[in-house]
Amino acid sequence: MGDWFRQRIMDTGRLPLFCFFVALILAFVFTRINVRLIRAKVGWFRNVNVGEMHIHHVVFGVVLSLLGGVAGLLVSGVSQGWYAVTAAVFGVGAALILDEFALILHLHDVYWEEEGRTSVDAVFVAIAVTGLLLLGLRPLGWEDPDGTPEGAWLAAGLIVVNLLLAVVTLLKGKIWTGLVGLFVPILLVPGALRLARPGSPWAHWFFAPGSRRPRPGRMARAIRREERWRRPVIRAKIAFQEFVSGRHDLPSTRLRTRR
């Protein structure tokens, strides 16, 4: 294990990225344990308040991210060890920010509402992408295979093709396929070619009711696929999310506002 860590992490210069990765996971887990204990009103666990103002932990995340990022810029060329420490501080700040990503997105406290699951999705995406980078995978396959001008043009062409496929895949509502496909481009081919999800921007533009060319048959097939394949996966994902982060079961503020 020690030899593997030295060869794959230390010798490749990925120690700061590894420290960021570990800090991100640990800080997220600790934060979720803390907020679940606060919600359950266990012991001395309470929200941070200044007078009547509740201080969300995204505020501490912004401060730590700035400290870690600026300090990392200062020490990156001086000490690998201190650079790794600043990367860990940045990871803690990133976890605190992403854990309240839904609050930033909606500009409203939806932490325990259904919309709050977006925060958990954001953390999972960050962990997945960082993990792939740690494995040595490069987004869009951007390395020059042989160092020649022809190889550079070939690499640039592959990058453009992969980027276009990734954009189409994401527009079709296949978020995880698109993100992982940035590092494993072969996944982008079926993601871009297969039918879009019914609620995706691609479906809205090209075949859903209200689009320029509504195609009821294609929309019906997309809905059938969603119900047969996607929804069981979503239920499993939600079950895992709630095991890790708690139940997002408060009534939606959006629904209350509509009523």
Residues 165 and 200 in one domain: no
What does the pLDDT average to over 78-84? Answer: 91
61 and 152 in a common domain = no
Summarised one tens digit per residue, pLDDT across range 9-31 is 888 889 999 999 999 999 999 99
| pLDDT at res. 151 | 67
Residues 121 and 47 in one domain: yes
Same domain, 119 and 233: no
| Residues 112 and 12 reside in one and the same domain | yes
Examine the domain organization and report whether 69 and 31 are in the same domain: yes
48 shares a domain with 36:
yes
The reply to whether 187 and 202 lie within a common domain is: no
DSSP run (H or E) holding 53 = strand 53-54
First-residue to last-residue Cα distance in the chain: 58
Q: Do 52 and 160 lie in a common domain?
A: no
**At which residue do the structure tokens 């139940």 appear?**
247
**Cα–Cα distance, 13 to 15 (Å, whole number):** 6
Question: For residues 28 and 67, is the Cβ–Cβ distance under 8 A?
Answer: no
Assess whether 151 and 76 both reside in one domain.
Answer: no
Tens digit of each residue's pLDDT (9 = 90 or more) over 193-210: 999 999 899 999 999 888
pLDDT over 70 for what percent of the chain?
92
- Domain extent, residue 206, equals 195-259
19 plus 79 within the same structural domain = yes
Q: What string of DSSP letters covers 172-190?
A: TT-HHHHHHHTTSGGGHHH
Q: In this structure, what are the phi and psi dihedrals at residue 142, rounded to the nearest 5 degrees?
A: -85, 5
pLDDT tier, 147 (very low <50, low <70, confident <90, very high otherwise): low
Contact yes or no for 103/109 (Cβ under 8 A): yes
Handedness of CA 113, 175, 197, 237 (dihedral sign): negative
Q: Distances in Å between the alpha carbon of 216 and those of 111, 220, 222?
A: 37, 6, 10
> Does residue 229 register a pLDDT over 80?
yes
pLDDT of residue 53: 87
Q: State the total domains in the chain.
A: 3
Distance between CA 243 and CA 248 in Å, rounded? 11
